Amino acid sequence: MHPFALSRVDDPAAAIAAHVRDPEVAFIAGGTDLIGLMKDRAALPARLLDINGLPGMARIEALANGGLRIGALARMSDVAADTEVRRRFPVIAEALLFAASGQLRNMASMGGNIMQRTRCAYFRDEDDPPCNKRRPGSGCSALHGFNRNHAIFGWSDACVATNPSDLAVALAALDATVVVRGPAGERTIPFADFHRLPGDTPERDNAVERGDLIIAIEVPARAEGRGSHYLKLRDRQSYEFALVSAAAAVAVDGRRIRTARLALGGVAHKPWRLTAAEAALRGASLDDITALKLAIATSFTDARPLADNAFKVELAQRIARSALVAAGARA
């Protein structure tokens, strides 16, 4: 790794002030993404600020209203093991457990998880091929290169990368919010607005600005929370990023869907909500596979596969349906 300075901070205001003052400062918590990025020279911060000592930010709170507040420094493994998380929102525990490995989950923080950068091999390549995320303006090697793992929704000519977080897919389905504190104070970002599409500025993954510190993730009480499930398909069964994944949460009357929430991973630059499908699924029977298929297909009219990933269009619809049915069995 390149030489850098390291200091630690135990007060959020000092952390934010240092970050906003100095564009060469990066926060480090678990480090499981940032250290990889530094080894691959995709991030070269001059100064790291260790935020692990910030007080009270690793708490996992089961709120009286049925929701959750998860501190940004809580570790993935602690959240996945939390009995209230597992009971209220099994989709969150499952998304965490299907990610990374036991060792990495013990290290990685929740705030860092939703900040993690794409696994596009061109972006991570230390030989520095054209990549607009790595070097803005240099081009996209994946657009006409090896793009089997890349997006089928929402991509631009500047970037076809996908977001690798499993957790983010579950949080998107549940319309969670991210509590962020910056130089101007605290604000709450709806999860749908947290990650962004690449457009002409793929170097920007999300709505976090310089000086922003993620404080917590809040999950409101949801009628669909208990009837939720996460499914993930990958090239090997464990310890691998998704080809396609789905988070489903459903509330039912008997076997009929009252409301459904569906989000996909591995298909876009952000977790991809299937809003058209969610509307079409209202009133459908969980036993009517044809109806479920047709409803889910309404969210795929704008799918634009690349040369190597047309298989994702079919695979994503199937996994969405399987996740929905499994979620329904819990509802």
Partner 1 sequence: MIKPDRENTGRLTAGGDASSDGTDVRDEHAATHGAPVAHFSMTVNGQVRAMTVEPRTTLLDALRGELGLTGTKKACDRGECGACTVHIEGRRVLSCMTLAAMQDGKRITTIEGLARDGNLHPLQAAFIEHDGFQCGFCTSGQIMSAVAMIEEAKAGWPSAATADVRSPFVVADLSDAEIRERMSGNLCRCACYPNIVDAVAEAAAGS
Positions touching partner 1 (CB under 8 A) are: 1-11, 14-15, 18, 22, 28, 30-32, 35-36, 38-39, 46-50, 52, 77, 80-81, 83, 86-87, 90, 93-94, 97-98, 100-104, 106-107, 237-239, 330
Residue 94 or 224 with smaller CB distance to partner 1: 94
DSSP type of residue 100: S
For residues 202 and 218, give the distance between their C-alpha atoms in angstroms, rounded to a whole number. Answer: 27
What minimum distance in Å lies between the beta carbon of 235 and partner 1?
13
Residue 241 or 272 with smaller CB distance to partner 1: 241
Residue 6 or 64 with smaller CB distance to partner 1: 6
The Cα angle at residue 303 between residues 302 and 307, in degrees rounded to 5: 140
What minimum distance in Å lies between the beta carbon of 193 and partner 1?
29
Residue 39 or 293 with smaller CB distance to partner 1: 39
What minimum distance in Å lies between the beta carbon of 306 and partner 1?
25
What minimum distance in Å lies between the beta carbon of 313 and partner 1?
26
Q: What stretch of H or E contains 245?
A: strand 244-253
Residue 100 or 284 with smaller CB distance to partner 1: 100
Transcribe 249-297 into DSSP letters.
Answer: EEEEETTEEEEEEEEEESSSSS-EE-HHHHHHHTT-BTT-HHHHHHHHH
Contacts for 121-124: CB closer than 8 Å, 24+ residues apart: 121/146, 121/149, 123/42, 123/161, 124/36, 124/37, 124/40, 124/42
What minimum distance in Å lies between the beta carbon of 50 and partner 1?
6
